[in-house]
């Protein structure tokens, strides 16, 4: 079985989306510099291919001009991958503590 990979930026995105669904630009703003505006949609596209997130275009009011923005939310699989990586990170963080006799 192949273990799903999760890069640092993908983890940031999943963490943000686990709170609420967001537009790409909102993700960039809330990531405090961890995500770049020019690359966020490339990463989101890759995450969608992996099945970590799903997206749809916003409903625009009648008469609106311009392209509709795209909203993102994590899939159940994406949240499971995030939980697994967080658990792995917790388990592996810090050196093993030595017991004194």
Q: Report whether 49 contacts 42 (CB < 8 A).
A: no
The least CB distance from residue 64 to other proteins, in Å, is 9
Residues 62-91 that bind other proteins (CB under 8 A): 65-70
CB closer to other proteins, 46 vs 85: 46
Name residues contacting other proteins, limited to 5-64 (CB under 8 A): 23-25, 37-39, 41-42, 44-45, 48, 55
Sequence-separated (6 or more) residues with CB below 8 Å from residue 37: 25, 28
Dist. CA 49–CA 75, nearest whole Å: 12
CB of 41 to other proteins, least distance (A): 4
């Amino acid at each position: 079985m192949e273990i799903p990979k999760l890069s640092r930026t993908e983890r940031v995105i999943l963490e943000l989306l686990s709170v609420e669904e967001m537009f790409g630009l909102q993700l960039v703003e809330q990531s405090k510099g961890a995500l770049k505006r020019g690359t966020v949609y490339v990463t989101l596209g890759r995450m969608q291919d992996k099945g970590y997130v799903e997206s749809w275009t916003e409903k625009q009011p009648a008469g609106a001009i311009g392209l509709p923005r795209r909203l993102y939310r994590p899939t159940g699989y994406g949240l499971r991958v995030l939980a697994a990586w967080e658990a792995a990170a917790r388990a592996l963080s810090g050196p093993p503590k030595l017991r004194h006799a």
